[in-house]
Amino acid sequence: RLLMIRHYNLFSLRGAGHCGRVFRKVFCATPEGQAPPRHPRWMGVEPQNTPQPSSASTGLLEAAYQRITAAWVSSAQQLGCMDVHVLGEGDVDTEVLDPAHAVLKLNSGHTIPVVGLGVYLCEPGAQAYEAVLSALRLGYRHIDTAQVYGNESDVGRAVRDSGIPRKDIFVTSKLSIRNWGKSRAQAAIDESLKKLGLDYIDLFLLHAPGSLDTRAETWAVLESYHRQGKLRSIGVSNFGVVHLEKLAQTAQVTPAVNQIELHPFLQWPRLVQYCQSKDIIVEAYSPLAKGQKLDDPTVKQLAQKLNVTPAQLLIRWGIQKGFVSLPKSTVPARQEVNLNVFSITIPDDDMATLDGLEADFVTGWDPIRDAPV
Question: For 46-55, how does the pLDDT look when each residue is reduced to its tens digit (9 = 90+)?
Answer: 334 445 556 6
Average pLDDT over residues 332-358: 97
Q: What is the pLDDT of residue 76?
A: 46
pLDDT for the residue numbered 56: 62
Would you state the pLDDT for residue 97? Answer: 52
Angle (nearest 5°) at CA 14 between 12 and 17 = 125
What's residue 21's pLDDT?
31
Give the pLDDT of residue 371: 85
Neighbour tally for 57: CB within 10 Å: 12
**What is the average per-residue pLDDT within 87-116?**
73
Active site residue 149: yes
Rounded Cα gap, residues 268 and 284, in angstroms: 11
Q: 306 with 350: CB under 8 angstroms? A: yes
pLDDT for residue 190: 98
In DSSP terms, which residues pair with 111 in a beta bridge?
Answer: 105
pLDDT digits 0-9 by tens, 350-371: 999 999 999 999 998 898 888 8
Burial class for 259, CB neighbours closer than 10 Å (0-12, 13-18, 19+): buried
- pLDDT tens digits along 264-323: 999 999 999 999 999 999 999 999 999 999 999 999 999 999 999 999 999 999 999 999
Q: Which CATH architecture has domain 99-370?
A: Alpha-Beta Barrel (3.20)
Residue ranges covered by each domain of the chain? 1-12+21-35+57-94, 99-370
Residues in the chain: 373
Question: Is 230's pLDDT higher than 70?
Answer: yes
> How far apart, in Å, are the Cα atoms of 101 and each of 66, 121, 153, 368?
23, 28, 27, 32
pLDDT in tens, 163-217: 999 999 999 999 999 999 999 999 999 999 999 999 999 999 999 999 999 999 9
User: pTM of the entire structure?
Assistant: 0.75
Kindly state the percentage of the chain with pLDDT values over 90.
Answer: 70
Of residues 129, 140, 149, 225, which has the active-site annotation? 149
